[in-house]
Amino acid sequence: MIVTSHNDSTSRESRRRSFDTAAANLHRFAAGEPLASIVDREAGY
């Protein structure tokens, strides 16, 4: 698994949102569900 940040903001709120997204994706991964905010290499993002 590769975890990347999609921006370089460093506010408390942005860090909290990043943590919340990562935590939600870990739960999704453990449950066998599709992950959110996946990078599409073919689309270039």
pLDDT score for 18: 84
pLDDT in tens, 1-45: 777 666 666 788 888 888 999 999 999 999 999 999 888 888 876
pLDDT score for 41: 84
pLDDT score for 8: 60
Q: What angle do CA 30, 10, 23 make, to 5 degrees?
A: 10
pLDDT score for 10: 73
* Residue 33 to residue 7: CA distance in whole angstroms: 25
DSSP track, 20-37: HHHHHHHHHHHHTPPPSS
pTM of the complete model = 0.64
pLDDT score for 9: 60
* Residue 32 to residue 2: CA distance in whole angstroms: 17
